[in-house]
Amino acid sequence: MSSLNLDDFTDLIERPDGGVRRDAEARRERQVVPPGALGRLDDLGEWLAAAQSAVPVRPVEQPRVVLFAGDHKVAELGVSARPAGSAGTLVREVLEGGRPVSVLARRLGVPVRVVDMALDCDPGSLPAGVVRHRVRRGNGRVDVEDALTLQEAEAAFRAGMAVADEEADSGTDLVVLGDVSVGGTTAAGVLIAALCGTDASVVTGRGGLAIDDLAWMRKCAAIRDALRRARPVLGDQLRLLATVGGADLTAMTGFLLQSAVRKMPVLLDGVVTAACALVGQRVAFRAPDWWLAAHDSGEPGQSKALDRMALEPVLTQGVRVGEGAGGLLALPLVQAAAALAAELPEKAEEPEETEEPEGTEKGEGTEKGEEAGAE
């Protein structure tokens, strides 16, 4: 029996300040550029102002990329274009600066943090700061077995919460959340299909490296089989994550919910983060107000999840690589929206027209004066 009560998040999470958002909208109406002329940037600036509870909105000065990493044994079925158990190699490439997220982060001056939750590699091959939250070596094969024990799921969830607290305490003012996984989109597809009550084929995508038709059919079958195991535990979100999620997805869900508690806004990257956000919405219905969908990756499961949460992607560039790369592409737009909302001048007030005294018509005083002089 878990000692973690997810129902507490319903009371702990408040919506971003609606009054502040109205103040931000009113300020926008007074600025020299007409409202609506900046398109989606107006909405982004007002969302950020409400999240910060500040008008004018403050600039985003300390963003951070946070990536949760794990291997999923379901990849042994050939559902991914990458070999099973190879996510550790991707993590090393991220740390060495050779992945798209590394290049974009350098260009934008954003630090990247990687958190190993279930990589299938020797922990000694990675920095101690990366592996200190690891729960297990590889997630279980979700089509035939649980991804985690309930105790492991609780440990992973608490690890995600702890990482969120560490980021909030260090002054991080916006997080780009992503994953580094092999087989992770399969687990994400199971969660989305289960929570949206849909068929496996509706949520099965091609993944980051665009698998062929045979691999897609294997992936669809794996999601279908895992769905049968997921449906009986739909009412218990922690057990659902233990059954078909995995340590990395469970930690991301904990991270998202605790970020909402700490009022720290988050940019969601791809289908894996969208699946975790969907679980988070089931736990606390106000939580998605603290999250922004960075981009549309083209994965059908992501579209399904975002639609369920009423989150509209900022960008549509078809970036499927994951690892926070698409999320980082949206970051400059959020920063630009904050700058415009804060720095555009307000319109000068027009001078009030001086009204004539009531009952006095133009020329009336002159005419009376002339009459008096004539007498």
Say which CATH architecture domain 62-334 belongs to: 3-Layer(aba) Sandwich (3.40)
- Tell me what pLDDT residue 321 has: 82
Full-model pTM:
0.91
- Please name which of 308, 306, 271 lies closest in space to residue 190, comparing C-alpha atoms: 271
**Which sign, positive or negative, has the C-alpha torsion 179, 256, 204, 248?**
positive
SS3 of residue 99 by DSSP: coil
Can you tell me the distance from the alpha carbon of 233 to that of 240, in angstroms, rounded to the nearest whole number?
Answer: 6
**How does pLDDT run across 250-289, given as a tens digit for each residue?**
999 999 999 999 999 999 999 999 999 999 999 999 999 9
Q: Which residue has the tokens 């951070």?
A: 64
Q: Give the domain ranges of the chain.
A: 62-334
DSSP class per residue in 337-357: HHHHHHHSPBPPPPPPPPPPP
**Residue-level pLDDT at 325:** 92
**Are 294 and 324 contacting, i.e. CB atoms less than 8 angstroms apart?**
no
Counting Cβ atoms within 10 Å, is residue 264 exposed (0-12), middle (13-18) or buried (19+)? buried
**What pLDDT is attached to residue 375?**
41
Six-digit token pair at 223?
A: 């999601």
Catalytic residues: 323
Residues in the chain, pLDDT under 70: 1-2, 350-375
Tens digit of each residue's pLDDT (9 = 90 or more) over 175-201: 999 999 999 999 999 999 999 999 999
